[in-house]
Structure 1
Amino acid sequence: MSTATVTSAYPRPVADLLPAVRDLADRLGEIPSRNQIMREFKVGAPKAQAVRLALVAEPITLPDETEAGPTSDPWEYAEPAPVPPALPVDTAPVPLILPAEKVAEPFAEVDQVGHPADEVEPVTVASESRRLASWPVILIALPAFVAIWSGWVGLGGLTGFGVVHPLPGIADEFSINTAITLPIGVEVYAAYALRAWLSGLVPPRARRFAKWSAIGSLLVGALGQVAYHLLVAAGITSAPWWITTLVACLPVAVLGMAAALAHLSHEEG
């Protein structure tokens, strides 16, 4: 039986328990806990705690302290090393003389170096994206032009438009059919206003005006075609007065809308 497990009828003082607890710490390789001391030496919690605190408070002696010799306190203030006096410096400027050809060489090399951004070719979005082909519009416009032209010219003949001599006394043989003013004025303005509306190249006021005037011109053109075909189908050779009035006002209305759109297009947005 070891000395650590010997018990007596009298409580053992802390000084007597300390060597045995130290031996136990050597065997464990660490400071035992309070419960280990209580279990090993059959003592109460206060005495076990007191013995453990006494063991912790003992100074630790390292084996190599006697060989290493006394060392200085690491927290002790160390005097700064003396700074050697600075050598006298001559403040007079030293002229630097280089050959002319040596001075010009660095600048010649710098001139030959270009900016990296200059070597990058600009990329255009239009070149990479595919645009919608416009040639089908020509095929669609050809038959529409024939139908629209004939309809407006026919309606003009029913509403009083016809052959006139615009230069009497100057060129009596020169004549023109005024009915062609209807398809040229109404339909061309509708295409012009539609272009201004959808292109986004005009100020906001001009774009709004182009939008509604283009829609109105297309509706008027459709109504003109309907009116002509209904009159011809009914065998009427002369249009009613209210149709004649509306058709007669179309050239003036188209001129006013075209002039207004042109003025609005030149405003600053």
Structure 2
Amino acid sequence: MRDRAAELRAWPSRNQVMTEFRVGAPKAKAALAALREAGFDPTNPTATAVVPVLHAVPDLADHAAPSDSPDETDATDGTGTSDVPASPDAQDVPAAASSPVSPVADPGARRPRVPRWPLLLIAAGAFVSIWGGWVGLGELTGFGPIRLLPGIWDEFVINSAITLPIGVEAYAAFAMWAWLAPTSAGVSRTARRFARWSAIGALALGAAGQIAYHLMVAAGVSHAPWPITAFVACLPVVVLGCGAALAHLIHRPGETV
């Protein structure tokens, strides 16, 4: 750059230095300042002592595009805005410094949670009523004590009527969980759709069973009509099929919602 200034017999502008030597604005500015401090006079280059070697100045805008302005004062458009675009690295520095700091949530703070103990009271009352209704309906339709392991353990007797409340109501709760599970649970759309309709059906079936039992008890019926008996006898098989199908759908990969 010293030889170029001597050839021009004048100080080159910062933009000229940037264009000819392919450096950024800070480096060009530092080189010109170093030459001036060394006492170099481009109008009389022979009278100037040898200039020491200039050291490279770190620059964030090495690849900045120079402006067409003839001097360094024209690098701005008069409004204080530079017409020399900075490099991507230079743009990141002020952006990061001026970006607003988002508030950090206190990890120790907890959201207020709705107490769950009232649900235990509700579930206890529903359990007594539902259990009694299904067991009573099962006895009216032929369910009753059976030897579960005949010839092996004859004393092991169980009332098969308990299979109705366990199967129907437990499946309804399981289907409701799959229906209302959060997105992070990974339940596919198909599984949610099946769970929604089967949960509604199981709850409606449970309500219908309670109605049928109480109506027959109020009417003094000791044995349920055959259509009700046939339908109730099929419930364990239907519940098993719905539960297995829903479990397979939940574990099958699919698009979540």
TM-score in same-fold range (> 0.5): yes
Which residue is equivalent to 1:82? Answer: 43
Could you tell me how far apart the structure 2 residues matched to 1:134 and 1:208 are?
27
CA deviations on 1:178-216 (whole Å, 9 max, x unpaired) are: 000000000111111111211223221111111111100
| Aligned equivalents of 1:231, 1:256: Cα separation in 2 | 29
In structure 1, the partner of 2:239 is 254
- 1:130-162 residue CA offsets vs partner (Å, 9 max, x unmatched): 222211110011111111111100000010101
Q: Supply the distance in 2 between the matched residues of 1:127 and 1:204 (Cα, whole angstroms).
A: 34
Letter in 1 for 2:246: L
- 1:180 paired residue number: 162
Q: Secondary structure of the residue that 1:153 maps to in structure 2?
A: helix
TM-score, structure 1 normalization = 0.56
**1:105 matched to which residue of 2?**
none
**1:127–1:207: structure 2 CA closer, same or farther, 3 Å change rule?**
farther
CA distance in 1, matches of 2:53, 2:43: 24
Q: Does 1:161 align with 2:143?
A: yes
Q: Cα gap change, 1:84/1:175 in structure 2, threshold over 3 Å: closer, same or farther?
A: same
Check 1:204–1:82 CA distance in 2 against 1; reply closer, same or farther (3 A cut). same
Q: Closer, same or farther in 2 for the Cα pair 1:83/1:184, shift >3 Å?
A: farther
Aligned to 2:117: 135
Amino acid in structure 2 at the alignment position of 1:148? I
* Alignment partners' CA distance in 2, 1:264 and 1:123: 39
Q: Please identify runs of 4+ aligned residues in structure 1 that moved more than 3 A.
A: 88-91, 120-124
The residue type paired with residue 84 of structure 1 is: P
Map of 2:199 onto structure 1: 214
Q: Which runs of 5+ in 2 are unaligned?
A: 1-8, 11-41, 55-102
Question: RMSD of the alignment, in Å?
Answer: 2.6
Bigger radius of gyration, 1 or 2?
1
Shift of 1:218: 0.3
Residue 204 of structure 1 corresponds to which residue in structure 2? 189
Q: Which amino acid aligns with 1:204?
A: R
SS in 2 for 1:160: coil
> In structure 2, the residue corresponding to 1:195 is in which secondary structure?
helix
Amino acid at match of 1:232: V
- Deviation readout 1:74-110 (Å, 9 max, x if unpaired): xxxxx7452525727689xxxxxxxxxxxxxxxxxxx
Q: Distance in 2 between matches of 1:256 and 1:152?
A: 20
1:90/1:129 CA distance change after superposition, 3 Å: closer
Aligned partners of 1:159, 1:227: CA distance in 2, in Å?
A: 11
Displacement of 1:267: 2.1
Counterpart of 1:226 in 2: which secondary structure?
Answer: helix
Amino acid at match of 1:227: A
The structure 2 residue matched to 1:148, chosen from 126, 130, 134, is 130
Count of residue pairs brought into register by the alignment: 163
Question: Secondary structure at 2:156's aligned position in 1?
Answer: coil
